[in-house]
Amino acid sequence: MHKSTILILLAFFSTYVFWGSTYLWNKIAVTELPAFMLASIRFLTAGILVLVVAKILKKSLTISIKQLRNIVIASVLFLAFGNGAFVYALKFVDSGFAALEASISPLMILIIMRIYQKKPIKLRSLIGIALGIIGMYILVSQNGLNLHEGSITGILIIFACVLSWSIGSVFVSQAELPKNFFVSTGYQMLSAGVLLGILSVMVGDTWISPKSWQMDTLISMLCLVLFGSIAAFTSFNYLLKKVSPEKVSTSGYVNPIIALLLGWYFLGESITLQTIIAGCLLLLGVYFINTRKEKRRTKISSRSV
């Protein structure tokens, strides 16, 4: 097997499994650590490591004022709010449920792009949007959700986070950012880590020393930094250069399945028939949107949990 083929397969494994696993790791860590503190440490550590790697690879870390402004905006939309608030919402909902709700991101991106570009939505995309809306209604209308205190709050926060990711995706596709994805990603994570740290202090979080963390929390944080923030995002950008965006977007089909199975196996989260039906409709809606036949191919950054 050719070396490039092996790298592509490994990159797909990373985006499929590692990104799908971040829901589990965040769910475990947030049971002990304040959400904003958790996200701040994760992105500060990952951002510094990525920039160190970029420096070792002799990539220029110099950026313009305009690029810095765009990086801060992107970091807020994707990471500071998009991920920080998402981690907080995991206090109220199961990780698998959160992953399924997050899978509507491609639908929201399509709607935002159509509004922004003022172009008509194709029939396949309309079908995808309809399936997504029906699937989301089935997912959030389960009677069991009302038995958990704060479930509605968690659902609304996740929806706001997905909207933030979607706006961020459209923004990043048009914004001027450093050409090297290591540099761009590193600065985005670093700035998000700083902003989340400030927010954590402002809301009165008690920062807990890693020395007193439980082993499960330590392992989860390590996985979030190395696999969720560095390996998966790097693999995502690598794939965008090697294969079509449509193929890269297939992670949107696999991540929720991985999250559901891991949440069920490790955390004992229930998977109801209603959840399965809702998940099938959501993923089918994503499929209809991502397989639309258009000559224009726009590379849009995906979310990273």
Q: HEC profile for the chain?
A: CCHHHHHHHHHHHHHHHHHHHHHHHHHHHHCCCCHHHHHHHHHHHHHHHHHHHHHHCCCCCCCCHHHHHHHHHHHHHHHHCCCHHHHHHCCCCCHHHHHHHHCCHHHHHHHHHHHHHCCCCCHHHHHHHHHHHHHHHHHHCCHHHHHCCCHHHHHHHHHHHHHHHHHHHHHHHHCCCCCCHHHHHHHHHHHHHHHHHHHHHHCCCCCCCHHHCCHHHHHHHHHHHHHHHHHHHHHHHHHHHHCCHHHHCCHHHHHHHHHHHHHHHHHCCCCCHHHHHHHHHHHHHHHHHHCCCCCCCCCCCCCCC
- Rg over alpha carbons for the chain, rounded to the nearest Å, is 19
What pLDDT does residue 296 have? 45
Cα–Cα distance measured from residue 48 to residue 225, given in angstroms and rounded to the nearest whole number: 11
What pLDDT does residue 297 have? 46
What pLDDT does residue 141 have? 78
Other beta carbons within 10 Å of 250: 16
Which is more confidently placed, 20 or 122? 20
CB 92 within 8 A of CB 154: yes
At 79-138, the pLDDT tens digits run 999 999 999 999 999 898 898 888 888 778 778 877 876 767 778 888 888 888 898 888
What pLDDT does residue 299 have? 46
Average confidence (pLDDT) over 194-209: 95
Which is more confidently placed, 256 or 148? 256
Other beta carbons within 10 Å of 252: 23
CB 285 within 8 A of CB 125: no
CB 94 within 8 A of CB 269: yes
At 266-305, the pLDDT tens digits run 999 988 888 899 889 988 887 887 665 544 444 444 455 5
What pLDDT does residue 26 have? 96
Could you tell me the pTM of the whole model?
0.85
At 216-268, the pLDDT tens digits run 999 999 999 999 999 987 787 678 677 766 577 677 778 888 999 999 999 99
Place of tokens 């985006």: 15
pLDDT band at 212 (very low <50, low <70, confident <90, very high): very high
58: left (phi over 0), alpha (psi -120 to 50) or beta: left
CB 122 within 8 A of CB 255: no
Which is more confidently placed, 115 or 193? 193
Average confidence (pLDDT) over 43-54: 95
- Domain ranges across the chain: 3-290
Mean pLDDT, the chain, integer: 86
Which is more confidently placed, 65 or 279? 65
Other beta carbons within 10 Å of 253: 17
Average confidence (pLDDT) over 63-72: 95
What pLDDT does residue 144 have? 59
